[in-house]
Every structure is written in C-alpha cells, then in structure tokens.
C-alpha cells in the first residue's frame, strides 16, 4: 500500500511474491550470520590464548617502564581511564602497548593506538612488530594496521565515491574481489602498512580506503590519527552504529593535543538534539 503524506490518499499495489525464493534467500542469510558468529567465537578463543604470550620485546626495561605498564594494566582491568605523564625517553609507547594489547586479546577487544603525528604512527608500528616477534606471533597470529587518511588512499585522486564514477569503488562492491583482496592482505606480515593496501588496490582496481576500513574490524590493533575515534566528521562510529560488537580500547599518545583538535572540529558536522 502506498500512502500519500500530502493528502492521505491510499493505493493498493499487487506485488509478486516468490515464497520459495524468499525462503531460500532467508536461509542463506541466516547461514551466513551463523557462520560469521561461529568464526568470531573461534577467533575470540584463539585471541584469549594469545594474550598470555604477549611480552616485553627488549632485553630489559628502562626505569619506570614496568611501573607504568602495571598501572595501565590495573586501569584496563578495572575498566577505568588512565592518564599518564612521563618525560621523553622513558619508553611510553611500548609501556602502554604491551598491557593494552594483552587486555584487548584477552577480552576480544579492538585496540586503537591513536596519535597526532605520522612519525609517531611509524614508531608504534615498529614497536608492535618487535612485540609480535618477541611473543612468537610474527607469523600474523596478531595483526596491526596503520590507517591512512582518505586523501592518501584514493588512486583517482578526486574523492568522488560513487560506483558509477569510480571503478575502484565498483570493484570493492564485488564481494569475491573484495574477499580475495582482504585474504591476501591478512596473509601478509603482522603489520599491514597503508602503502601495501594502496598498491594492492591499484593493482586490482579495488578501493584501498574501503579495504582499509573493512580490515580495521579484522585486526587486533589499529594505528591511526586521533580523528578517527574522536572527530564526529570522520570517526569510525564503532559505538553508535553498532559496526562491531567487540569492546573498544583506545590508547591516545600525547593526549594533550586533543584539546586543540577538538577546537578545530567543525560543529556543522554535529547533530544536535
């Protein structure tokens, strides 16, 4: 039935209905959901087993690193935020990454390590690779992804995201192509770099940015700019849209930069009640 919102007029339409076809479609969708849930449960069990393997990657800790890691681990276990300040050279990155990664694996959480500088993202990636090797997980048992801004992941360079105008986005919407590309990226080393995603996207004419977005929900650690969690205009919206049922843990490097970032947000992007 069509109902006009202008004058309230109603019109009945005859719509053909294939009961058997609809049943087959529903069964296929339900099976897909069940398979996904079973795979997620198996993944969660494997991740919990890996948590105990995560260890400090260097011969010995610097002064105060052990204390900092212990304090952060206590905060994570209690489910409360922690704010730490320490001078340059203490080794805050690895001191925060190790307990956060252990906690994320043990609780099947998605871990974000957020920075304001690309150079710091490179440091986090190298530190993660060191942790993975020291923990015997360099074969990809745990995975990280560095997420790059859209402008740097668009092969056409025009950001016109519509399948009628972008062959790369059209390729991404083809499920077999997308799944093969994601499987190849997941078969890479422990850390998936944005240059690798960009190169594969160009090679197969499939959107690198969309691949990176999808892969974010399949890895254990996402290294990204703080905007991708805190800026309403570009954030992943993991919480409000139910994109993932996994808990989310965020480590913010140089969190004092959040104040200036928040002042720079365009409030035209916010939806006010």
Residue 101 reports pLDDT greater than 60: yes
Is the pLDDT reported for residue 108 higher than 50?
yes
Burial class (CB in 10 A: 0-12, 13-18, 19+), 177: middle
Closest CA to 208 of 261, 146, 250, 267: 146
Task: Out of 1-10, 74-83, 168-177, 231-240, pick the least confident.
Answer: 231-240
Q: Which element (helix H / strand E) includes 127?
A: helix 118-134
pLDDT tens string 211-230 = 999 998 889 999 999 988 88
Supply the pLDDT for residue 131: 94
Q: What is the pLDDT of residue 255?
A: 87
73 pLDDT above the threshold of 70: yes
Whether the CB-CB separation of 179 and 218 falls below 8 Å is answered with: no
- The more confidently predicted of residues 187 and 225 is 225
What does the pLDDT read at residue 271? 44
Copy the structure tokens of residue 91.
């080794």
Q: 251 forms bridges with which residues in the sheet?
A: 113
**Burial of 105 (C-beta count, 10 Å sphere; 0-12/13-18/19+):** buried
**Range among 200-204, 242-246, 255-259 rated most confident:** 200-204
What average pLDDT does the structure give for the chain?
87
Mean pLDDT of the 100-115 span? 94
| Average pLDDT of the segment spanning 89-111 | 93
Give the neighbor-by-neighbor strand order of the sheet with 248-252: 191-192, 144-146, 221-225, 110-115, 248-252
Within 13 Å and on the Cβ side, how many CA atoms surround 210? Answer: 24
Euclidean distance between CA atoms 83 and 72, whole angstroms: 9
Region 53-80 average pLDDT: 92
Average pLDDT over residues 51-72: 92
CA 130/CA 190 separation, integer angstroms: 10
> Where do we find the tokens 């060191």?
130
- What average pLDDT does the segment 147-158 reach? 91
Helix or strand holding residue 185 (H, E): helix 175-186
**What is the spatial distance between Cα 102 and Cα 251, in angstroms, rounded to a whole number?**
13
CB 251 within 8 A of CB 222: no
pLDDT mean over 251-264: 84
Instruction: Provide the pLDDT for residue 245.
Output: 66
pLDDT tens column, 14-47: 888 899 999 999 999 999 999 988 988 888 888 8
DSSP string for residues in 23-83: HHHHHHHHHHHHHHHHHHHHHHHHHHHHHTT----SSSPPTTHHHHHHHHHHHHHHT----
Which residue has tokens 């011969």? Answer: 59
pLDDT, residue 36, reads 84
Residue 269 has what pLDDT?
46
**Integer CA distances (angstroms), 267 to 71, 256, 271, in order:** 36, 20, 9
Q: Determine whether 139 is exposed, middle or buried from the number of CB atoms within 10 Å of its CB (0-12, 13-18, 19+).
A: exposed
| H-helix or E-strand spanning residue 252 | strand 248-252
């Amino acid at each position: 039935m069509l109902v006009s919102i202008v004058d309230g007029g109603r019109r009945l339409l005859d719509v053909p209905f294939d009961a058997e076809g609809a049943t087959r479609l529903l069964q296929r969708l339900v099976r897909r959901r069940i398979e996904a849930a079973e795979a997620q449960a198996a993944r969660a069990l494997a991740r919990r087993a890996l948590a105990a393997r995560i260890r400090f990657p260097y011969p010995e800790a610097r002064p105060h690193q052990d204390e900092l890691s212990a304090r952060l681990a206590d905060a994570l276990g209690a489910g409360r935020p922690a704010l730490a300040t320490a001078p340059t050279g203490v080794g805050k990155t690895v001191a925060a990454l190790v307990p956060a990664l252990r906690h994320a694996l043990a609780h099947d959480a998605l871990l974000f390590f957020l920075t304001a500088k690309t150079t710091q993202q490179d440091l986090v990636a190298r530190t993660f690779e060191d942790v993975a090797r020291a923990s015997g997980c360099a074969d990809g048992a745990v995975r990280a992804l560095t997420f790059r801004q859209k402008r740097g992941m668009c092969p056409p360079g025009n950001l016109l995201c519509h399948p009628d105008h972008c062959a790369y986005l059209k390729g991404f919407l083809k499920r077999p192509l997308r799944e093969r590309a994601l499987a190849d990226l997941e078969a890479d080393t422990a850390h998936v770099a944005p240059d690798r995603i960009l190169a594969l996207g160009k090679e197969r004419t499939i959107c690198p940015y969309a691949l990176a977005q999808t892969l974010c929900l399949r890895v254990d650690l996402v290294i990204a700019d703080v905007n991708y969690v805190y800026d309403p205009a570009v954030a992943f919206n993991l919480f409000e849209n139910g994109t993932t049922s996994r808990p989310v843990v965020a480590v913010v490097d140089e969190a004092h930069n959040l104040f200036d970032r928040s002042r720079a947000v365009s409030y035209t992007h916010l939806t006010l009640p």
